[in-house]
Structure 1
């Protein structure tokens, strides 16, 4: 028996001994359908700004340009909610913004709003007891997607390895829908680093405030995940659920103050301020033809990790129909051989393809960067133009308005996931242009057909590609070089030998699809 096989057998028996059957294999739910929104102040607000759009343009969107915008809009929606708040996220951090948003959700629940929160299991970090406590509120319900059966310590991760084909499929979707009228979708998780508030690292990110007909599709997606057989009530994940944690935790949440930004206005607090804030946004929203695409929560062929999912297919179709230019912006960027052939075929027809991603210096995950670095030369050889974000980019201060949140004081990186096709169609969502998003995770994207929005997004991405913000990569005699103005580098700028060694070593491992 080979050493690798012995390891697999050992892990299998350890997983059994550590209680891998502590949760049912799947859950049966009573399936529901999307109901028409009830009359509310948000529905009246939306209707009062319902200009007469064209037949196709039945949704309105507003791109969120900063962390303050993103947090303020979510808070304003919570403060004005009257009937329902449905939330779906990959990560919800226990930090200032995460706690404050949770406190406002509890306040909404206290006034009778039905709050439903769907989280992926991979980042719960043993917070089940707190979630169970919140779930004890009569108007709050929390479910967890595809949980690992054993909940504590090393055995949790041994269990993960014991059922790798299923448990490696994570819910990466993000949506935030209030009263069935307004939604926020895109790339942001819930956490300080996504809202320009962190004292450890901050990210350039992007999502969209949405109203109109496409909100129905976003709500449909949420309900499909909520009622899927891989969706588990959170109280199943904690063996000793009681009311005591609620008594301990809720007063702490009640006492939390709103986060403060140095050079932004105060975040909207209270119904009146929040309603006025949203009213001021209405004229800024653009009527578009929008489509929300999401992957099935439980794949029909869940053991097949070689078939692109619906979001990947939708983006592939948009790419194949492009005639002039495709802009890609992705925190993690990895293409396999078949994808590279497809890009090459498009380039051969005259389509220009530019991609912005993290540099090693701006990437928060060396593992993810190693997958990209291993394919970087291939991408350049196939004609893709590559740009890597500088950690000391001007984009950080433009978004945060606070130099103390930016490099060199704090790391700054790219987390946005966007694309523009021929300056006509924009895509913003949770989909990274890597193999995990293509084949493994569930994702969601908002496809926007509108030239004004597409051109706005093009300007944002191309600004990020400017030399003051990114390095431009080229091949010189078959080797990768980094360029900025009249300077060039033969290896990753602003990195050390140890970082480059780690990346090179990880490239030797067969983990490309899992990064």
Structure 2
């Protein structure tokens, strides 16, 4: 009991308290090298873009890109969840590796999901000569200061020519309608380099450079040096099972495979696409992504639209927004309602900020469900769109690896706004008394007393460590 008490004190101090203060400011070097003007393009870029909004098509796009990969597949994800989609995803990866494609899989070291029944899938991937796996900051019970710096990126890079970035993890809820749990509405973009011979001018070059930095970083580790004979047997069995599942799917769900997509013809032009990301090291980071996003806010003159599954603007984040030119009534935030949210802990931090945002005159719209929204999106002056993994909270600002793309394209932004309108139609505007402004076409989502009580109760606890939400 004494050992347990000391251990709890130890992790409280070194896993929670030490992150509360000392939030680094963005260095003068970063500011000098990363001016807001770099997001602006003057002519047509070699990079084009496709919005992957609909769940099924986003999954089909990933399958198609990996099916047609010839040289390399680089994958970075926060979480892998057991289910149909994961079996499909890794079946296609193994198939590509069998063709000689070099595959690198980079996952968060705590939330990767390769445990229990998926452990054998991990063995199968490690056992393949053309596949490498690494974990960013694996779990170490004796070093609690390593628990909070998580890899939150969601990237897929194919053959140096295509890339997918957005908010989707790999799991059924992000790609199909489930019967057991309400699905999650998310958003990705497919980026296309139309001139592979001059890749230096493409955003894919920036993304590959970042992937390599994280892959080669000292805190990124391989899960096993060598598989034991027992693990190798499990690996072979899992390999056979994944391939058999893939073969069965090719017979029963033929529409998933061998599709012909003219990606360039389907895409929209851009003036420029720029990749932004956080630093990689431990402890509180310089808030590079937040700095870049708030610089775009400050440079906006007409409107700002933000979509985030929850909004937790902590005190260290606020100074970066102190000189906005856009008046509060022209700032719109779309987020989940209590009825819709799938993240009760984070939402318990969010509810403490709703009143303050409404009183400042911001337009707060809450999605009513029964499903939830998980996309992370910023729109500036109907011209620039930022899409990726960054949530509007302290964790994404100072702790996680995070990445987004900033797209300079009026055509793409118009397309994005049309898609986002479907969520606004299922959302209610928050009034100054925190009730909803009535809409004759939409009723507030139903909230169970258990969920309501849980969120309100948790808010008293999470209020003490909003810097970790």
TM-score of the superposed pair, with normalisation by structure 1 = 0.76
Residue 116 of structure 1 corresponds to 104
> Does 2:417 correspond to 1:458?
yes
1:424 CA drift (Å): 0.7
In the other structure, the counterpart of 1:221 is 210
Q: Deviations over 1:431-483 (max 9, x none)?
A: 111121111111100100011111222232244212xx0111011xxx31113
Alignment of 1:215-364 (within 5 A): 215-236=204-225, 242-257=231-246, 266-269=254-257, 273-274=258-259, 277-279=260-262, 281-288=263-270, 289-298=272-281, 302-303=282-283, 305=284, 308-337=286-315, 339-340=317-318, 345-346=323-324, 349=327, 352-364=330-342
Residue aligned with 2:151, SS:
coil
**CA displacement at 1:493 relative to structure 2:** 4.7
Give the paired residue count.
423
- Cα deviation 1:126-169 (Å, max 9, x = unaligned): 244531332111111111110013xxxxxxxxx2xx53332211
1:238 Cα deviation after fit? 7.8
C-alpha displacement at 1:94, in angstroms?
1.9
From 129, 133, 149, give the equivalent of 2:124. Answer: 133
Change (3 A) 1:358 1:350: closer
Q: Flag structure 2 segments of 5+ consecutive residues without an equivalent.
A: 13-40, 194-201
Whether the 8 Å CA contact 1:182–1:215 is kept in 2: the answer is: yes
Output aligned runs, 1:409-428, within 5 Å.
412-428=371-387
CA contact (8 A) 1:357 1:414 kept: yes
Gaps of 5+ in 1: 16-52, 150-158, 393-411
Q: Hey, which of these two has a bigger chunk of helix by percent?
A: 2
Q: Deviations over 1:401-452 (max 9, x none)?
A: xxxxxxxxxxx11011111001010011001111211111111001000111
Alignment partner, residue 408 of structure 1? none
Deviation of 1:222 (Å)? 1.1
Question: Which secondary structure state, in structure 2, belongs to the residue aligned with residue 357 of structure 1?
Answer: strand
Superposition pairs for residues 359-370 of structure 1, below 5 Å?
359-370=337-348
Distance across 2 between alignment mates of 1:389 and 1:14: 36
Which range moved further: 331-340 or 90-99? 331-340
TM-aligned CA distance change 1:342 to 1:351, over 3 Å: farther
RMSD over aligned Cα, in angstroms? 2.9
**Which residue number in structure 1 is paired with residue 389 of structure 2?**
430
In 1, Cα distance between equivalents of 2:226 and 2:78? 17
